[in-house]
Each structure stands twice: as structure tokens, then as C-alpha cells.
Structure 1
Amino acid sequence: MAVITFTSDFGYRDHYVAAVKAKIISQDPQIPIIDITHAVEPFNIPQAEFVLGSVYHEFPEGTVHLVGVDTHSKKGKYLAAKFKGHYFLLPDNGLLSLLTDGRPAKVIELQTDILMPFPTKELLAPAAVYLAKGGDIEVLGNQTHDIRQLLNRQLRLNDHSITGHVIHVDRYGNLITNITRDSIDTIAHGRTFTIHFSRETVGRIYANYNQVDEGDCCCIYNSLNQLCIGINKGHASELLGLGFDSQIDVRFYPGS
């Protein structure tokens, strides 16, 4: 039996998360359910993509990822998809295209004839149980290629610079960007570089934030090799006035 992960924007004040879990365990109390987070900001699809996209591949293939974010799809469409050996159950709101970069292996439109007040519980959760118990995804509905498409932010690269953006602010205020270690290494060719954001310039990437004095800016690569900007013991987003989609530049210089 596969694991079900659960990601939502339901928060922790109300009964919504418990209601979905109750639906799952009422159908099979042995199914393991792993909460990824329920603190996604309401309707925030890019945040959901970052959080789930950062961790789903850590789970074994066959894992079922149940997503309750921005759940009331305008067209009332809900999807089951397979990508890199994982299953995803979610509304047709563009999140699937971001998670799979537009290349899911198979997408099924779940069969439903009515609009539901709680589709995560009433439709997606039973489908998750079915897939976790080894069910055939094609039984859930009809295959489709017509899903809502959203585009991830792309890097702008040339011989002397990289322009990227903040794609997530974590609970510590650290700014996580779409600039990767590989992109910097590819353009650098051994050259020196500086990182520019707000009114700050940083010329070194550290192993962790504690390598600078408290209150100082610091750039690191996280465990996913993404360039991150933080302030040791400080909230970088608030103190620098930067947030989601803020521009970050890396500039390269002749010589080494």
C-alpha cells in the first residue's frame, strides 16, 4: 500500500484537514498519511508548487500526492495525473503544469457531474485511497490533454549575467530564488561574480547563514542547490523589502 501525502491551503484553525483525513481512514484505516503542509497561503498556487515540488521526489515511487489548494476550479475540473512514478490528485488550476513543467506522463479528468462544496474530501480523497491501494488511474475517468497551463519563471542568462527571481520566502524570511548552482557554474567559467539584490551586493556564497555576523546578509545554496539570500538571525524579506518575484542579479567579471 502506497503513502498518501497531503498538501493544502486549509490552515490549522478549522476542521477541514481532519475531515479529509477522516474520509481517507474511514475507507482504509491502514493507509499512511503524511502532511506536507496546510499553511499554504489561500489560493497561492506558486507557493504550493514550490513546497510540494521541493519534496515530492523524496518519497518512493507510487506515492499519491493529494493537493487541496485553490480547490474550487472555475470549470469544476479535477485531475489525477502520473509523473515520474508519482500520482497527483488536484484541481485543474494550473498547479499540475507547474509541478511537471507541462509534461505529465498521463492525465485523467475525474468523473463528476455535480459541483461539490468540499471536492478535496468528496472527490479527491476517495480517488487517493483507490490509487494508494494499487488501483488503475484510467478507471478514474477519461484521459485528457486539455489542462490549464501556467509557466514557471525562467532565468535570463548571457555571458556576463544571470537574472532570476525570488520564488519563495520561507518562515525565517529567507529568500529562495530560481537561480541554481549549475546555472552559476555554467556561466562563471571560473570568473568572480557578485550577487545584487535590493541595495545590497554580496561577493561570496557561504555554506550556511551562521558564517556571517548576526544581522549581516548571506547567500547560500540550499539542499536543492538553489541560491538563497538570508540575514543571520534576521528576517531578510522584511529587512530588505523583497518578496515573491523580486529580481535577483548575478554579474560576472573578467579574470578569476
Structure 2
Amino acid sequence: MGFLTFLSDFGTTDHYVAAVKAKILTLNPEQVIVDISHHVEPFNIAHALHVINSVYQDFPEGTVHLLAVDTHGTKNGRYQAALYKGHYFVCADNGLLSLITENDPRQLVDLPAQPDSSSPCRDIMAPAAVGLANGANMAEVGELAEDMVQRINRQLRLNDHSIIGHVVHVDHYGNLITDISQDSVDAIGHGRPYTIQFNREVIDRVSRRYNQPGEGDCVALFNRQGFLTIGINKGHASELLGMYFDSRVEVHFTPDPAE
């Protein structure tokens, strides 16, 4: 029996999470359920993508990830399961799967439809997730699918001397996680000094820890997933800097004197 993780935009003040868990435990009382978060912003696919991409590979291969975000947002009424990098993902066909799998899942199936269901996560997605967690193959939980709703991530703007990216997530502490990866900085910079510019601030040093600068000072570091993150030591960077999802962040490299 594999692990089953649960990510949703249901919140925790209502009964929705408990109803889904009740269904899972009815199907298998011994099923291990790991809550990732139930505080994804409602209907926010980008937020869900950031959260699941930050953690799913920490789980063993074979783990099933139940993704209940914008579950009524599928215009075609489809719910799907996908196999990607050894992990199973179950969610509405609302574009999230295309972003997780980069439009290239190893396997993709449509789950059996229940058009009258008021809770597709409970009635359609949860049974498929339990089946996969207990060893069912993809063909046993759905019919082979050849397509899914596709979304495209915002792309970095790169040139010889700069990278322009954006904030993709604001975490609980107010830290600003961007889509600028350390790999992109290394590839464009070739070891050159650089500055990080955002709002009216400029940082010329990348730290290893949030508390490396003085209290109240801005800090830039690469997080565990390798993405540039901006914070304020003992402060809420999003509120204090007036930056939120999609705010612009730039990296500027010092030109080579030989150029």
C-alpha cells in the first residue's frame, strides 16, 4: 500500500476535507493520508503547482497525489490521473496536470464520469486515488486519454546581461519565491557578479540563511528547490515591499570588460 497525499483549496473551517478523508477511509481504513496543505488560494492553479512541485519528489515513488484545487473548473467535465516520474497525480482536467507533467505524462487516463456529483473530489477522484495507492494499474481506474487541458507557464526573459522573472508564490512568512532558478543564473552569468532588483530595492549579495543580514534587512537566497527567494529578516517581505504574486524581479549581470 502506497502513501496518498492530499492537497486542496478547501480550507479547514468547513467539512470538505473531512468528507473526502471519510470516503478514502471507507474504501480502505488502513490508508495512510498525508496532508500537504488545504490552504491553496481558491481556484489558484499557479499556487497549487508551486506547492506540489516543491514537495512531491520528497515522497517515495508510487505515492499518489490527490490534488483538489479548482475541482469544478473543468469545462469538459473530465477528471484524470497521470503517471509522471514514478508518481501518480489525480485531479480535475483544468490544466494543472499539464503544468506538473510538462505536457508529457508517462500515462494518462480519464476517470469514470459522474455528472451529477456535487463533490467530484470525494466521488470521482478519491476512489481512483485509493485504487492506485493500493496497487491498481492505470487501466483499472480509467480509460486511456490522449489529451488534457494545457496551460503554459510564464517564461523567463533572458539575454546576455539580465534575467527577468516574477514572483510565483508568497509563503506563510511573506517570503517571495520567484521563477528564477540558480541554474538560469549560472548559465547566463558565467560567474559574473550580479545584482537583484525588485521594487525600489537592489541586493548585491546572495545569502545562505534568512537571518544572515541584520534584522529588518532584505535578503536574497536560493531555496531548497533552487529558486531565487526574497525575504526580510524577521519581517513580512510581501507586505513591507508591496510585492505579491506576479511582481517583477530582475537579475542584472556586470558586463564583461572585454565586450
Q: TM-score range by the shorter chain?
A: over 0.9
Identity in percent? 56
Q: Does the CA contact (< 8 Å) of 1:94 and 1:150 recur in 2?
A: yes
For the pair 1:195 / 2:196, whether they are aligned, the reply is: yes
User: Residue in 2 aligned with 1:36?
Assistant: 36
How far is 1:221 from its partner? 0.8
User: Residue in 1 aligned with 2:16?
Assistant: 16
User: Residue in 1 aligned with 2:252?
Assistant: 251
User: Residue in 2 aligned with 1:59?
Assistant: 59
How far is 1:243 from its partner? 0.9
Q: Does the CA contact (< 8 Å) of 2:132 and 2:141 recur in 1?
A: no
| Cα distance in 1 for residues equivalent to 2:143 and 2:78 | 12
What pairs with 1:14-163 in structure 2 (closer than 5 Å)? Answer: 14-72=14-72, 73-163=74-164
Letter in 1 for 2:39: A
Scaled by the length of structure 2, the TM-score of the pair is: 0.96
| Cα distance in 1 for residues equivalent to 2:252 and 2:197 | 8
User: Residue in 2 aligned with 1:219?
Assistant: 220
Worse overlay, 160-169 or 142-151: 142-151
Scaled by the length of structure 1, the TM-score of the pair is: 0.97
Letter in 2 for 1:2: G
Q: Give the secondary-structure state (helix, strand or coil) at the position aligned to 1:211.
A: coil
Q: Spell out structure 1 runs of 4+ moving beyond 4 A.
A: none
- Pairwise CA RMSD: 1.1
| Cα distance in 2 for residues equivalent to 1:153 and 1:62 | 29
Q: Give the secondary-structure state (helix, strand or coil) at the position aligned to 1:107.
A: strand
Q: Give the secondary-structure state (helix, strand or coil) at the position aligned to 2:118.
A: coil
How far is 1:115 from its partner? 3.1
Q: Give the secondary-structure state (helix, strand or coil) at the position aligned to 2:126.
A: helix
Q: Give the secondary-structure state (helix, strand or coil) at the position aligned to 2:19.
A: helix
Q: Does the CA contact (< 8 Å) of 1:76 and 1:115 recur in 2?
A: no
Letter in 2 for 1:3: F
How far is 1:113 from its partner? 4.6
How far is 1:255 from its partner? 4.8
Unaligned runs of 5+ in 1: none
Q: Does the CA contact (< 8 Å) of 1:192 and 1:255 recur in 2?
A: no
